[in-house]
């Protein structure tokens, strides 16, 4: 009986492990922490599997990974390991769009800009641009209305453009 | 549309989230407004930068193993993989009864083949590897294989059934070049590898799950099929039925 449950759960949830890891990795910004978060998220998901009524399994798994990530960060900041969203942000200089586009082709810069986004902006841009979710799916994963998805995406893009040195002040 | 309205919609336009009429109006405005056009281009440029430098990631093997171990707990971990374990037992029994090692050999080569098929699927998901010929038109994909293989498989688009054809690819499995057909289902990619059935008996389908991917394998009268995807088994089964019916000549038109 229990074996059967685990097997059904694995068939539903394991195909989305890459997506789960991708989200956790970009949200937590650290490989080891991301792996811990995914493990905890999958145990949680199994626990609540009886509440899964079919439908979009990826969105369901991602919502649990997202919530686990948030809980994890709260726990860490509670113990004084504060995540400082603004660390390094003063290093971004004004530059011409041409130079900025060149910088945009730089891996380090793109990664660091992403890392500097506040969590609520980072999660929508990761779900949309890296994981290819629709607005409706993002709304379900993050537990926010579609209008909020749109305004957060717009802010996230403005901020990323700024961080990459392009067209400051769109926000 | 005026700038103020378009500004709000530039993201949605780039994300393909505007209805057709709105998208048309917004695009028309972009043509005449350099400011909004530049903003739209920035969204697309940002997308390119993210695509290049912040790709989706594959879960490390270590994590996959750890998740499985924690889900299945001690004592349960040993029962995977179910299908091939069962087949192995069956093969050994048949081998003993028949007094031959041939079936066992067939089984182990089947397992090696499953590994190869899975590897082609994983490789195909890497950027730029999915298709050699990208077309939703079955009449473009089928002739593409002419001259590249010594067979030309029938190609059917199942867009009407929710499995649109994405394209075709030449791949390599079972020590030979094979035809790979690529289909989509929402964001999921389905790979179909097929080659002419040899002298063996028709049978299947057999289902197995490896590294989170589902595979279906069967031997039809004309072609031998392997279907791989991260799509749920039930939906993959629906797709496999479409393929089998198409081969039987009862393709839904």
Number of domains in chain A: 2
B29, B20 Cβ separation under 8 angstroms: no
* A151-156 long-range Cβ contacts below 8 angstroms, 24+ apart: A152/A120, A152/A121, A152/A124, A153/A124, A153/A125, A153/A128, A153/B11, A153/B15, A154/B8, A154/B11, A155/A121, A156/A117, A156/A121, A156/A122, A156/A124, A156/A125
For residue A11, which residues of chain B lie inside 8 Å, CB to CB? 209, 214, 232-233
Whether B140 is in a domain gets the answer yes
pLDDT at position B108 over 90: no
Query: In which residue are the tokens 């993989």 written?
Result: B81
| Residues B116 and B208 both lie in one domain | yes
| Residues A57 and A111 both lie in one domain | no
Nearest by CB to B47, from A6, A129, A170: name it: A129
pLDDT of residue A165: 75
Interface subset of B 217-246, CB within 8 angstroms of A:
230-233
Whether B163 is in a domain gets the answer yes
Among A83, A100, A118, give the residue marking a domain's end.
Answer: A83
| Residues B186 and B222 both lie in one domain | yes
Nearest by CB to A166, from B42, B62, B233: name it: B42
CB contact under 8 A, B56 and A22: yes
| Residues A8 and A62 both lie in one domain | yes
Domain span at residue B147?
61-247
| Residues B234 and B147 both lie in one domain | yes
Number of domains in chain B: 2
Whether B89 is in a domain gets the answer yes
| Residues B132 and B74 both lie in one domain | yes
Whether B146 is in a domain gets the answer yes
Cβ burial of A55 (10 Å; 0-12, 13-18, 19+) is: exposed
Helix (H, G, I), strand (E, B) or coil at B61: helix
CB contact under 8 A, B53 and A166: no
pLDDT of residue B247: 84
| Residues A77 and A102 both lie in one domain | no
CB contact under 8 A, A15 and B71: no
Among B37, B53, B69, give the residue marking a domain's end.
Answer: B53
Please state the rounded mean pLDDT for residues B152-178: 89
A11 touches chain B (CB under 8 A): yes
Q: Residue A51's domain is classified under what CATH number?
A: 1.10.1740.10
pLDDT over 70 percentage in chain B: 80
Domain span at residue A162?
86-171
| Residues B76 and B200 both lie in one domain | yes
pLDDT of residue B246: 87
Q: Residue A170's domain is classified under what CATH number?
A: 1.10.10.10
Instruction: Give the DSSP letter of residue B146.
Output: B
pLDDT over 70 percentage in chain A: 79
| Residues A55 and A136 both lie in one domain | no
Our CA-based measurement puts residue A75 at a distance from the nearest CA of chain B, in whole angstroms, of 22
| Residues B139 and B226 both lie in one domain | yes
Task: Write the pLDDT tens digit of every residue in A79-136.
Answer: 544 444 433 333 333 333 533 553 455 788 889 999 999 999 999 999 999 998 999 9
| Residues B30 and B68 both lie in one domain | no
Whether B253 is in a domain gets the answer no
Q: In which band, very low, low, confident or very high, does the pLDDT at B50 lie, cut at 50, 70 and 90?
A: confident
Query: Which of B38-47, B86-95, B139-148 is predicted least confidently?
Result: B86-95
Q: In which band, very low, low, confident or very high, does the pLDDT at B105 lie, cut at 50, 70 and 90?
A: very low
| Residues A79 and A133 both lie in one domain | no
d(CA A115, CA B154): 48
pLDDT of residue B238: 87
Among A60, A83, A106, give the residue marking a domain's end.
Answer: A83
| Residues B117 and B12 both lie in one domain | no
Q: In which band, very low, low, confident or very high, does the pLDDT at B106 lie, cut at 50, 70 and 90?
A: very low
Interface TM-score (ipTM) > 0.85: no
Our CA-based measurement puts residue A10 at a distance from the nearest CA of chain B, in whole angstroms, of 8
Q: How many CB atoms lie within 10 A of CB B22?
A: 16
| Residues A63 and A103 both lie in one domain | no
Please state the rounded mean pLDDT for residues B59-67: 91
Which residues are bridge partners to B216 per DSSP?
Answer: B207, B227
With b for 16 or more beta-carbon neighbours within 10 A and e for fewer, the B80-91 pattern comes to: eeebbeebbeeb
For residue A107, which residues of chain B lie inside 8 Å, CB to CB? 52-53
d(CA B122, CA B243): 22
A15 touches chain B (CB under 8 A): yes
Please state the rounded mean pLDDT for residues B188-217: 80
A106 touches chain B (CB under 8 A): yes
CB contact under 8 A, B58 and A35: no
Among A83, A117, A150, give the residue marking a domain's end.
Answer: A83
Who's near A166: CB < 8 A, 6+ residues apart? A97, A100, A101, A104, B42, B45
């Amino acid at each position: 009986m229990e074996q059967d449950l685990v097997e059904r759960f694995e068939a539903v949830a394991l195909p989305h492990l890459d997506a789960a890891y991708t989200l956790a990795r970009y949200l937590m910004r650290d490989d080891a922490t991301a792996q811990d978060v995914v493990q905890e998220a999958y145990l949680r998901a199994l626990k609540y599997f009886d509440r899964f009524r079919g439908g979009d399994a990826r969105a369901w798994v991602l919502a649990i990974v997202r919530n686990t990530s948030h809980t994890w960060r709260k726990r860490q900041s509670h113990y004084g390991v504060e995540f400082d969203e603004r660390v390094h942000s003063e290093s971004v200089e004004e530059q011409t769009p041409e130079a900025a586009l060149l910088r945009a082709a730089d891996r380090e810069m793109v990664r660091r800009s992403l890392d500097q986004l506040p969590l609520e902006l980072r999660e929508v841009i990761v779900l949309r641009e890296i994981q290819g979710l629709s607005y409706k799916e993002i709304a379900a994963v993050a537990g926010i209305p579609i209008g909020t998805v749109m305004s957060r995406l717009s802010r996230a893009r403005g901020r990323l453009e700024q961080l990459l040195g392009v067209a400051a002040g769109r926000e | 549309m005026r700038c103020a309205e378009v500004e709000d919609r530039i993201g949605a336009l780039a994300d393909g989230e505007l209805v057709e009429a709105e998208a048309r109006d917004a695009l028309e405005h972009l043509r005449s407004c350099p400011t909004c056009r530049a903003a739209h281009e920035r969204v697309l440029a940002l997308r390119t930068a993210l695509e290049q430098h912040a790709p989706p990631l594959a879960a490390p093997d270590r994590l996959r193993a750890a998740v499985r171990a924690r889900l299945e707990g001690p004592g349960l971990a040993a029962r995977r993989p179910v299908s091939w374990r069962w087949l192995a037992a069956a093969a050994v029994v048949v081998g003993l009864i028949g007094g031959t090692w041939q079936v066992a050999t067939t089984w182990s080569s089947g397992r090696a083949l499953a590994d190869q098929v899975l590897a082609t699927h994983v490789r195909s998901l890497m950027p730029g590897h999915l298709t050699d010929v990208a077309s939703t038109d079955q009449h473009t994909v089928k002739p593409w294989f002419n001259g590249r293989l010594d067979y030309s498989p029938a190609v059917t688009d199942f867009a009407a059934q929710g499995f649109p054809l994405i394209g075709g690819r030449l791949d390599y499995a079972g020590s030979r070049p094979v035809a790979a057909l690529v289909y989509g289902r929402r964001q999921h990619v389905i790979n179909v590898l097929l080659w002419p059935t040899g002298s063996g008996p028709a049978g299947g389908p057999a289902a197995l799950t490896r590294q989170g991917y589902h595979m279906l394998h069967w031997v039809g009268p004309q072609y031998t099929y392997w279907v791989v995807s991260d799509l749920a088994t039930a939906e993959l089964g629906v797709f496999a039925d479409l393929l089998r019916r198409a081969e039987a000549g009862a393709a839904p038109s």
